[in-house]
Structure formats: C-alpha cells, structure tokens
Amino acid sequence: MAKSKRVVGAGIVIIVVAALAAGVYFRISSDESAAQAGPNGADAGTPTPGFSTDVAIAVEGTEVELDTLVLSVTASGQAEAWRRTLITAEVAGRIAGIAARESQQVGAGAVLLTLDPVDKQLALEDAQAQLARAEASYREQILFDTNLSEEVRRERDRAARLKQGVDQAEIAVKRARLDLERTRVRAPFPGRVASLKVVPGQLVNNGTELMTLVDVDPIRLQVQVLEGELAHLAPGGNAEVRFSAFPDEVFLGEIESINPVVEEQTRTARVTVLVPNPGARVLPGMYARVRLEAQRIPDRILVPRSAILERDRRTMLFVHQDGKAKWRYVTTGLENDEFVEIVAKPETEMVEPGEVVLTGGHFTLTHDASIRLVDDYRTSDAGRPQ
C-alpha cells in the first residue's frame, strides 16, 4: 500500500514538471513570433506606412511688405434713407388714381396720386366768375375819371378796387387754382415709393397720410464712435461697410459729417457715413458693420495677422528659407484687422521686405521643417499624415 502511494506521488510530480516545461516553451515561441511580426503584428520584413519627416509640408506664405499701415475705428449701425418724407394730402377729395407703386423709382415732380378734380375745377370757375364781376364793377366806377389828375386818378383807382373786391377776387382765383393743382400729388425729389397707405376710391382729408418717399442713393449710416477715437476721424475719410444681408461684399463710402457734441451717457458722438447705392440693393433698416479710416502711418514693416504665433508665451513667426521653415521671435507694434507691424528690438529678430512669412498650415511646424508653398494648404496632402 505504501509503495502504491509513492508511485502515485512520483507520477504527479512528473506531470507538473511536464506542464511547466510546456508553458515555458509556448512563451518562448510566442515571443519569437511577435518579434518577427513587428509592433503592429505585420511581418518585420515588410515596412509599415507612416509619416515621413523628409516630405515637404504644404504651407501658405505671403511676402513681408514695407507699406502704409491704415488704422481704423469700427462701429455698427443701421442703414437709413438719405432723404425721406411723408407724403400727405393737401386738399380733401376722393382718390381717382394711384400712379406709383411701392418700390417704384420716380423723378422729381412725377405724379404719384390724383384726386377727383371736379369740385376743385368748379371752385376755380366760380372764383373766376367772381373776379370778372368785381373787375366789371371796378371799370364802371372809374369810367369817367379820365379828366382827373394823375395823382387823383391813382387814388380813386385804388379805392375802387378795394370797394369792388377785385384784389380779394384775384386771391380767391389763385387759391382755387392752387387747390386744383394739389389734386395731383407730386414727388418733391427723386426717390422710391414706400409704405403706400391708400387705395383708389378712398376719401381723404387735408393731412391724410398717403405714402412715404425715400431717396436711398446714397444710403446713410449713422454710427456712434467713442470720444477718444474722434480725433483721428475727419469728413471725407474712407469707410468700409459690410451689411449683414451681403456678408461677403464690402461697400465703400466716406465720412460725411461728425457731430461735435459727445453724449454724456455713452461718451460717444454720431458719425454719418454715406455709401453709394445706385441699384438700391441696400435698403433702409439693414444692419451694418463699419470700419472708418482713422490714421495712415507710412513706411512700416507689415506681415499678415495670420503669420503671428505664440510659443512659450513669446511672439514668433516662421520664415520660408531654402525650403525650410525658420522660426524667429519678433516684437509687434501697431496693428489693424489685416496687418501687424514688426518693430526692431535688441532681444528679438526682424523680418525684411520681400521675405516670405508663413500664413497657413504653419501652426504645428518645428524649426527647420521641410516645406513647400501652395495656394491653399487645406487642399494639398503633401507632407501630411493620412
């Protein structure tokens, strides 16, 4: 019995040793296979695709310029008609016809609307008849004054006109003729019809609102500018205007006037800008952003704003040099919405006119990276990992 137990124990030991040996062998074989396969499980002898630093990276660039830096003031406002008036009825009557429609361009003096003229025509004829009677009575009264002296005759003539009411009758005729003319409502200036409020056949009184006439060429913009920026503006200065309705288009205008009074609450003053609008594309009420030319500073080293980067809290840019990206730490000066001035400082470097600074695709570059200039780096895959 003891012998059988010893045999069984020896067998177990042999099995355990065999299992351990098999495990060691399996692990060694797996490590060798992995080494042959490479880090991605492929055969070590087959090269795996990757990003090569030898390939030139596509970037955009712009030449450094020695030019005039234009400083500007930005503001916002709404478009207004250059001239605007409310057309009202000057006499009572019934509308016979409307000659103009909304948005129609009309000239100065053009008939916009007509009232029925019958009663005004009758009033004119009645006034003319009254004048004729007054003149007849007047002539009858002075018929035998030919033998009087010149001075007496003039005095009797004046008295006779007053007595017979000739002067009043003449005024009544003029008033009746004017009322008849006012049945034809005319445009006081060239413009476009807006906000038509009446219809044919409607009875209107003196003062009834009929329509609005607006002159939108040029269009007017009134913007508020801070008092500290007013000193740099002057009438006749250039203005660039972008309307929300036309976001990709720039309209050119000029400063018409600057209000000399600064508002106490806002510390701003009103600046009026006129923008040519021959096709009446810009309509009153449209919102706009305005950039006013404030100051022109000549002979400045300028680079696009997109060229300026920040690394380790220092301002820098990349310069294209012999197919390489060379970074330079620079000091910036004045700037506007498009350009930044580079100024000379002992602790930083300069760029020179004609050098090419990188403006696109340069955000992650390193010094001495291989590059090539393209028109649009976004459409070029050269040098970029897939």
Task: Please enumerate in sequence order all residues whose Cβ is within 8 A of that of 35, keeping only pairs 6 or more positions apart, or say none.
Answer: 44
At which residue do the structure tokens 């310069």 appear? 319
Asked which of 298, 327, 346 is the last residue of a domain, the reply is 298
Total count of domains within the chain: 3
Give the pLDDT of residue 7.
40
* 242 in a structural domain: yes
9: in domain: no
Provide the pLDDT for residue 279.
85
CB crowding 302-316: b at 16 or more within 10 Å, else e: bbbebbbbeeeeebb
Kindly state whether residues 231 and 257 are assigned to the same domain: yes
Rounded Cα distance between 155 and 153, Å, is 5
Choose one of 132, 167, 182: the last residue of a domain: 182
CATH of the domain at 360: 2.40.420.20
Element (H, E) at 2: helix 2-37
Question: Positive or negative, the Cα torsion across 134, 135, 137, 141?
Answer: positive
Same domain (yes/no): 309, 353? yes
- Half-sphere exposure of 231 toward its Cβ, with a 13 Å CA cutoff? 1
Same domain, 277 and 233: yes
Q: Which of 308, 300, 318, 311 is nearest to 357 (CA)?
A: 318
6 belongs to a structural domain: no
Q: Among 273, 298, 323, identify where a domain stops.
A: 298
Q: pLDDT tens digits, the chain, 386 residues: what are they?
A: 444 444 434 444 444 445 444 443 444 344 444 333 333 333 333 333 334 456 889 999 999 999 999 888 889 999 999 999 999 999 999 999 999 999 899 999 999 999 999 999 999 999 999 989 888 887 777 766 566 656 666 766 777 777 778 888 989 999 999 999 999 999 999 999 999 999 999 999 999 999 999 999 999 999 999 998 888 888 999 999 999 999 999 999 999 999 999 999 999 999 999 999 988 899 999 999 999 988 888 999 999 999 999 998 999 999 999 999 999 999 999 988 899 999 999 999 999 999 999 999 999 999 999 999 999 988 876 555 43
Domain range for residue 321? Answer: 58-68+299-379
Residue 55, pLDDT score: 83
Same structural domain for residues 294 and 318?
Answer: no
Position 351 in a domain? yes
Is residue 289 located within the same domain as residue 304? no
- Which residue, 262, 332, 337, is CA-closest to 293? 337
Residue 62: inside a domain = yes
Flag whether 8 is in a domain.
Answer: no
CA 27 vs. chain centroid, Å, equals 73
Q: Does some domain include residue 207?
A: no
d(CA 203, CA 164): 37
Q: 42 forms bridges with which residues in the sheet?
A: none
Radius of gyration of the chain (CA): 46
The dihedral formed by the CA atoms of 367, 371, 373 and 377, expressed in degrees to the nearest 10: -90
User: Residue 219 is encoded by which pair of tokens?
Assistant: 């269009």
